[in-house]
Amino acid sequence: MSETRKLFIKTYGCQMNVYDSERMAEALGGQGYVETDTPDDADMIVLNTCHIREKAAEKVYSELGRFRELKAAKPGLKIGVAGCVAQAEGEEIMRRQPLVDLVVGPQSYHKLPQLEARTRAGEKALDTDFPEEDKFDHLAARPKARRAPAAFLTVQEGCDKFCAFCVVPYTRGAEVSRPAERVMSEARDLVERGVREITLLGQNVNAYHGHDGGLAGLIRDLAGIDGLERIRFTTSHPNDMDDALIAAHGEVEKLMPYLHLPVQSGSDKVLKAMNRKHDAESYLRLIERIRAARPDILISGDFIVGFPGETEEDFRATMDLVSAVEYGQCYSFKYSPRPGTPAAERSHVDEATKDERLQRLQALLRSQQRVVQDRMVGQEVNVLFERAGRAAGQMVGKSDHLHSVFVEAEDVAIGDLRRVRIVESAANSLRAELV
C-alpha cells in the first residue's frame, strides 16, 4: 500500500470549480492522498482558480506567495495551480512563481496522477491541453462514501457564445455535453450515497444536447430516479431557454422553482456591444412565459455595470429592467477588462462611475430580494436540511426557492426533507417552524 499523503485544495470561482475540486481530490485519492482542511500539514496544495474578473486572478498570486514558508519548512511539499487561471496563464505562472510545481487546466485534470508523479520525480509538470478524449471517461469511478444531501453534477462544459467581456470560452473551451446515460449513472450513484438534490452544472447548461430532448429531456429522465427529490440547473443563457425547458418548469414536480437567468444589462445598445444576441424586451417576454408556466418561480440574475460605452441612460435602462423583473436573488459586478477579450480593447468607463452605479444597482437588488423573501412569511415550504446551525438544536436547510431556512427542532436530521411554515424573514435567511 502506498503511504498516505495529505492534499489541501482551495476552490475559487463558480460551482463547476467546486465539482472539479471534488473530482481532482478523487483522482489523487488513487495516489494515496486524503484531503485535509489546512495547508499547514499538506503534502500537496492545489489552488483551483477563477479568471472571470481581474481581482479573482490576482488573488492566486498573492495566495501562492503565502506558501513560501511552508515550502521552505517542507521541501517535499508540491504546489499546483488548476482551473481557469491555470488555463489562461499557465506558463506565466510557472515563470512568475517558482514555488509552483504543477499547472493543470480544467480539461486535463484527469491526468493529475501522472502529473503528480512527475513532480515527485523532481520535474515541473504543465498540462493545459484541450484533449480529444473526454476527461470523464478517464477519471476513476467515484468512491462510494456517504455524501451530503445536495450535490453538483457537471453535464455541460465550455461556451460558444463569446460575450465580448468573458474569458470562459477561452478557459473552458467549446461547448461539450456529457452523454445522458453517463449523467444518469452518475446521478444514480450519487443518490445511492445519500444525495437527494442535484444541481446540474454547465457554463451554458441549457444548451445541453447530450439527450435527444435537450436539458428538458434529461431533467424528465432524472425525475424518474427514486430517492432523488430535487433537481436544479445553472447557468442558463436566455437564448437557449426553449419551450420544452419552460414546460418542464410547469410540469416536473422535482424541478425546483428557481432559475438563474443572467441578462447583464437592460440597455439594448450595451447588450449589442456585449454580443449577447438578445434585447431587453425579449428577455422580459421570456420571463413572462416562464412565470406563466411556473408562477412562483424565483428569478435570479447577473449584471455588469460600467461596460465600455455604458452611459447614464444605458445604466438607467438596467435599473428599469430590474424594476420590471423583480429578482429574488442577484449578483452584480463592475466590468473588469480581461486579457484577450474584445471589450478589453475599448475605452473604459471610469472607476468612480462604475462604483457609483454598482452601489445604486445593488441597493435596488437588495430591496427587491428582501421584498421577495419577506413575502414568504406565513407560507408553507419544503426544506432540505443540510447542516446544524450555530445555536443548540438549530438546523439549516434550503427551501425549494433556495432560501436559507433555520429551524429550532430536536427531531430533524441532515438529509431530511420537511414541510415548514416560515415565521420570520431576517437579513439573508428565513426562520421557520415544522408543520
Would you tell me which residues interact with ligand F3S (CB under 6 A)? 13-14, 16-17, 50-52, 83-84, 167-168, 171-172, 203
Task: Please report, for the chain, how many H helices and E strands are present, in that order.
Answer: 14, 19
Rg, Å, the chain Cα set:
22
CB of 52 to ligand F3S, least distance (A): 4
In the shown chain, the binding pattern of residues 277 to 306 toward ligand SAH, with x for contact by CB under 6 A and - for none, equals -------------------------x-x--
| Closest to ligand F3S by CB, 105 or 217 | 105
Q: What is the secondary structure of 277-326 as a DSSP string?
A: ---HHHHHHHHHHHHHHSTTPEEEEEEEES-TT--HHHHHHHHHHHHHH-
Q: Which of 120, 161, 269, 348 forms a contact with ligand SF4 (CB under 6 A)?
A: 161
CB of 163 to ligand SF4, least distance (A): 3
| Closest to ligand SAH by CB, 202 or 217 | 202
Residue 262 within binding range of ligand SAH, rule CB under 6 A: yes
CB of 68 to ligand SAH, least distance (A): 30
| Closest to ligand SF4 by CB, 97 or 239 | 239
Closest CA to 67 of 94, 100, 92, 103: 100
Q: Is 201 helix (H, G, I), strand (E, B) or coil?
A: strand
| Closest to ligand F3S by CB, 4 or 62 | 62
Amino acid identity of residue 394, one-letter, is Q
Name which of ligand SAH, ligand F3S, ligand SF4, none residue 51 binds, using a CB cut-off of 5 to 8 Å depending on partner kind: ligand F3S
Residue 233 within binding range of ligand SAH, rule CB under 6 A: no
- Spatial separation of the C-alpha atoms in residues 404 and 430, rounded to whole Å: 6
Which residues, numbered 40-99, are part of the site for ligand SAH (CB under 6 A)?
A: 52-53
End-to-end CA distance of the chain: 52
The 8 Å CB, 24+ separation contacts for 359-363 are 360/315, 360/319, 361/303, 361/305, 361/315, 361/318, 361/319, 361/322, 361/332, 362/332
CB of 60 to ligand SAH, least distance (A): 16
Q: Is 207 helix (H, G, I), strand (E, B) or coil?
A: helix
| Closest to ligand F3S by CB, 34 or 331 | 331
> Segment near ligand SF4 (CB under 6 A), from 88-96, 159-167, 219-227, 371-379?
159-167
Q: Is 260 helix (H, G, I), strand (E, B) or coil?
A: strand
> Segment near ligand SAH (CB under 6 A), from 4-12, 22-30, 334-342, 418-426?
334-342
Q: Which of 107, 154, 199, 204 forms a contact with ligand SF4 (CB under 6 A)?
A: 204
Which residues, numbered 156-175, are part of the site for ligand SAH (CB under 6 A)?
A: 165-166, 168
C-alpha grid cell, residue 429: 435567511
Per-residue DSSP letter, 338: -
Please give the distance of CA 150 from its chain centroid, rounded to a whole number.
14
Check if the beta carbon of residue 287 is closer than 8 Å to that of residue 249: no
| Closest to ligand SF4 by CB, 203 or 373 | 203
Do you know the residue count of the chain? Answer: 435
Name which of ligand SAH, ligand F3S, ligand SF4, none residue 162 binds, using a CB cut-off of 5 to 8 Å depending on partner kind: ligand SF4
Which residues contact ligand SAH (rule: CB under 6 A)? 52-53, 165-166, 168, 203-204, 235, 237, 262, 264, 302, 304, 333, 335-336, 338
